[in-house]
């Protein structure tokens, strides 16, 4: 299962973006801004986990497109 992180810092639209760690995403936040979400079978589980901490969570357009909604 892939491991996911969420950006501690919100995007300009207020979203905290979820990224898949090993996807080679060019938009990964700096390590100091990554909040570990653990291993999930899909980005949906990772988004749900991140939503326990952050109000506005969205999948990264590039590496979690399936969970990208805004």
Point out which residues bind Zn ion (CB under 5 A): 19, 25, 27, 60, 62-63
CA distances from 67 to 3, 32, 45 (A): 15, 23, 10
61: CB partners within 8 A, 6+ apart: 68
In the complex, residue closest to Zn ion by CB: 60
Q: How far is the CB of 61 from Zn ion (least distance, A)?
A: 7
Q: How far is the CB of 63 from Zn ion (least distance, A)?
A: 3
- Residue closer to Zn ion (CB basis): 26 or 52: 26
């Amino acid at each position: 299962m892939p491991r996911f992180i969420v950006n501690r810092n919100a995007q300009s639209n207020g979203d905290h973006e979820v990224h898949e760690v090993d996807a080679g995403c060019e938009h990964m936040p700096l390590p100091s801004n990554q909040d570990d979400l653990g291993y999930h079978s899909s980005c949906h589980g990772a988004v749900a986990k991140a939503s326990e901490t952050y109000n506005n969570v969205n999948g990264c357009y590039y590496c979690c497109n399936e969970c990208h909604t805004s």
